[in-house]
Amino acid sequence: MATKASSASSASSVSHAAPSVACAIYTRKSSEEGLEQDFNSLHAQREACEAFVLSQKSLGWTPIPTAYDDGGFSGGNVARPALKRLIADIEAGLVKVIVVYKVDRLTRSLADFAKLVELFDAMGVSFVSVTQQFNTTTSMGRLTLNVLLSFAQFEREVTGERIRDKIAASKRKGMWMGGVPSVGYCANGRTLEPEEPYATRVREIYAMYLKLNCIRRLSEAVHAKGWLTPERENKRIGFGGNKAFSRGHLHRILSNPIYAGMVHHKGENHPGQHTAIINLELWTAVQKRLESNRQGHKTQSHAQNPSPLSGKVFDETGRRLIPSHTTKGKKRYRYYVTPADDPGDPIRLPAEEIEQVITKAILNWAGNDKQVLDTVGWGDAQHAAHLLKRARRLCLALQKGANVAEAVSKKSERTFALRSCVNRIEVAPKCVRITLDLIGCGLQEAGAGQGEATIEVQTERKRCGMAVRLVISDGSPAQLQQREPDPGLVALMAKGRTLLKKLTFGGQSIEALAEQEKLSARYVSRVINVALLAPDIVQAIERGDHPIELNATQLITSVPFPMDWAEQRNMLGMGASVVAGSAAGAVQ
């Protein structure tokens, strides 16, 4: 009997045992200060949360062993690695309760909090603060949390304003505010000191530029001397530098007021507290020379379609490609071309295509938070959040307008942003190298670092008549939108249909048509053959959906075409595009 009673009691306790509730503990600290200690703020938060979870053991609460710790990340955004892992685990159904020490550890942004609560509700997840117990499933709980977060967001914004005001006031006093020292200087506490032999090299660079009067020749002279940038240590990415000076870097050195003993802030130069490497007269002379040597950098207000990348596009040998254009009817076609007197192989790049490549590459780079922070430098959490905000602003500026040509003609924000953030573009046979101006991008202050970043896009140059077209490595044309139909191809197709109609229904011979059109009979015969192409090929050409290298000359010289339409598609390399276009037409 006793045994039965004991068994019954045991069964009863099992049946009433609370189900296990997986609790994730999230901790955060805004700065990295103190994180190297054996017991830091993150440990203290976790210890308090674990004690709270233990007190709820009767409800089945069980802490998840996974650590969700964000050390050195601001609460002003959700770009935090541990928070992203926590959200992924919530979506995977691994978490039922989120435990934090205080509400502002999760976020200090009302907008972000609203999105997180929406996710919590959708996944049936509760949110608990150890020091402020709330239940986010009730309207009163949400109201209380929103009030607290309003104050948290206000505190963050006020703190940011104070920091920005302090930086502005310090720079007006000529103080160096940190970052990677410019070449020729090394950091000494909160100020800069000249660093030899780099300071002497900077003076020589200024003197050589006034003598050579050309950045390209200056770059060649510096490379001939074997000079390299100084090696710098970065807490995030280790050691950097120790590489050849690029043209953009040399231009940045020549235009940096810090070498003349000044500190730049918001478009103004203030007398600095550091020692100048060059005198003010030399710096002023170099600035005047840079301004006078600027080729095509100013966009004239009367220009119908100015080229935003003028003076910045080069081929792999260092030849500058200058803006050019042709006009057919009312349509204006812009190009970047090698000068007419250049003895080398001529290059003519359609301007819209190269501008599309550059825009898309910068958007991909600026839209990747890790790439931006790895390139510019993470700094503290406040600095990282500020950089990402600037990067998003750059993306918005570059995305203005649906068409680059339209954007350029309207002198839009997109065109200005594209010109401001590019130092140099090198169009090589297998890739396009883009040297970004981080200061022009709004991601770095003048004098704060190297000022440049490089992006590579794998492309292939294909000659198409007189022009050179760019094809992305995956085989797609280098454009953000579908390109316009080729006028020459469309005109050839129309001419072929007209001549075929006259031959078929007008009772005229090929010889008569040739005499009437003042063309050779052989050429008329070829044009008529073009009209006999498969209907879907004709439609694809009229849409502009054909291989980028196909033009009217290539098409006319491909005559005679096979009778089988499938063989025609294969011959012209239009199998995939024709099928896709036909399918789209069928859906419509």
Domain annotation covers residue 214: yes
3-class DSSP state for residue 573?
coil
When computed from its CA atoms, the radius of gyration of the chain, rounded to whole angstroms, is: 33
Cis-peptide, bond into residue 535, ω within 30° of zero: no
Q: Are 333 and 451 part of one and the same domain?
A: yes
E strand or H helix that includes residue 307: none
Distance CA 195, CA 185 (A): 5
Q: Which of 246, 247, 275 is nearest to 259 (CA)?
A: 275
Distances, alpha carbon 474 to alpha carbons 459, 471, 477, in Å? 8, 8, 9
Peptide bond before residue 197 is cis, with ω within 30 degrees of 0: yes
Segment holding 518, helix H or strand E: none
149 and 221 inside one domain: no
Final residue before a domain boundary, out of 268, 295, 322? 295
Query: How many CB atoms are closer than 10 A to CB 293?
Result: 13
- What is the model's pTM? 0.39
Both tokens of 249, joined, read 């870097």
The torsion angle over the Cα atoms of residues 442, 446, 450 and 455, rounded to 10 degrees, is: 20
Q: Do the Cβ atoms of 131 and 101 come closer than 8 Å?
A: yes
**Paired sense of beta strands 61-63 and 21-29, if any:** parallel
Could you give phi then psi for residue 425, rounded to 5 degrees? -130, 125
Number of domains in the chain: 4
183 contacts 229 by C-beta, under 8 angstroms: yes
Asked if residue 101 and residue 217 are part of one domain, the reply reads no
Whether residues 67 and 123 share a domain: the answer is yes
141 and 27 share a domain? Answer: yes
Three-class SS of residue 546? coil
Q: Which residues pair with 70 in a beta bridge?
A: 28
Does residue 274 sit in the same domain as residue 322? no
| CA separation for the pair 111, 497 (Å, rounded) | 60
Q: Which of 420, 444, 472 is the last residue of a domain?
A: 472
Q: E-strand spans in 476-585?
A: none
Based on the domain organization, do 144 and 193 belong to the same domain?
no
- Interatomic CA distance for residues 350 and 243, integer angstroms: 33
Among 129, 153, 177, the domain boundary falls at 153
Are 81 and 110 a contacting pair, CB within 8 Å? no
Residue with tokens 């089945």: 60
Contacts of 399 (CB under 8 A, 6+ apart): 363, 414
Place of tokens 């070498």: 259
Task: Evaluate whether residue 13 is within a structural domain.
Answer: no
Report the Cα–Cα distance between both ends of the chain, in Å, rounded: 81
Contacts of 155 (CB under 8 A, 6+ apart): 108
**CATH, residue 277:** 3.90.1750.20
In this structure, is residue 179 part of a structural domain?
no
The domain of 221 spans: 185-295
Tell me, letter by letter, the H, E, C secondary structure of 232-259: EEECCCEEECCCECCHHHHHHHHHCHHH
Q: Which residue has the tokens 């800069």?
A: 192
| Pair (466, 515) in one structural domain | no
Q: Answer yes or no: is 168 within a domain.
A: no
As a whole number of angstroms, the distance between CA 109 and CA 115 comes to 10
Q: Of 60, 55, 53, 58, whose CA–CA distance to 26 is shortest?
A: 53
Side-chain-side CA neighbours of 277 within 13 Å: the count stands at 27
Number of other CB atoms surrounding residue 151 within 10 Å: 12
**Distance between CA 568 and CA 578 in Å, rounded?**
11
pLDDT computed for residue 401 by the predictor: 44
Show the tokens assigned to 318.
Answer: 């260092």
Tens digits of pLDDT across the chain (588 residues):
444 444 444 444 444 555 788 999 999 988 888 888 888 889 999 999 999 999 888 888 999 989 999 988 888 778 888 999 999 999 888 999 999 988 888 887 767 777 787 788 788 888 888 887 665 656 776 677 677 667 767 777 787 788 888 888 878 887 877 777 888 888 887 788 888 888 899 999 999 998 888 887 888 888 888 888 888 766 555 566 778 888 888 888 898 888 888 888 877 888 888 888 889 888 888 888 888 776 444 444 445 556 788 888 888 888 888 888 887 777 777 888 887 777 777 888 888 888 888 888 888 888 888 878 777 776 666 777 777 888 888 888 777 643 333 433 344 556 777 787 888 888 888 888 888 888 777 776 655 556 778 888 887 766 655 555 565 554 444 443 445 677 778 888 888 888 888 888 877 888 888 888 888 888 888 888 888 888 888 888 877 777 766 777 777 877 788 888 888 788 877 765 444 454 444 434
Residues 123 and 234 in one domain: no
Q: Does residue 130 lie in a domain region?
A: yes
Tell whether 466 and 320 lie within a shared domain. Answer: yes
Region of residue 179 (phi > 0: left; psi between -120 and 50: alpha; otherwise: beta):
left
**Residue 481 belongs to a domain:** no
CA dist., res. 41 & res. 43, Å (int): 5
Question: Do 428 and 341 reside in the same domain of the chain?
Answer: yes
The pLDDT, as a whole number, for residue 414 is 64
92 and 215 belong to one structural domain: no
**Residue 12: inside a domain:** no
Residue 579 belongs to some domain of the structure: no
Q: What is the CATH number of the domain that holds 131?
A: 3.40.50.1390
Spatial distance between the Cα atoms of 180 and 377, rounded to a whole number of angstroms: 9
Among 445, 451, 450, smallest CA distance to 263 is for 445
As given in the structure block, the two tokens for residue 489 are 């191809």
